[in-house]
Structure 1
């Protein structure tokens, strides 16, 4: 099932249902409940689709240029203050900035 979820575009439900249909009743009785099984399979798919490791320190946090643009090749990372202690990242598109420019109020969480 692990390989199927990594290589297939089928839904999680379909993959789990297919795998469960191929095992014995005794084996089914020892499985976790359906929601837990689906959650575990979903996590496997997410890990296989996002192979990036988490940075261990703030200094080692580097954003690969391919993640600074959208699927439509538009700038998404508008500002990066660099690897300093109080680093600031601003993610936006031109359209989102235009909406922000025309807003009456702007709320910022710091």
Structure 2
């Protein structure tokens, strides 16, 4: 068996035999193939409820030591419980509360 193959024999081995004559200007492997790709059908998307990155912080606050305890709630626009607690304490300070105790930090549904 000969180890040297002609260009035509190599093309037949790689691409199979074709009945139409090939143009001499460009090799077949350089020409783009015009194959229509099937487009996937658009799936209807379910409308999801937007995620709420909010936490509700509940504090027991007083203006004087061992005075009347009030419940102070604050809704923070964050997912960090530490940041939510700090924001709630700062808001309580703005309302002139001096003593606070964090009771709960829960996500708002």
* TM-score, with length taken from structure 1: 0.19
Larger Rg: 2
Query: Whose strand fraction is larger, Structure 1's or Structure 2's?
Result: 2
What TM-score does the superposition give when structure 2 sets the normalisation length? 0.19
Q: Looking at both structures, which has the greater relative contact order when contacts are Cα pairs under 8 Å and sequence separation is at least 6?
A: 2
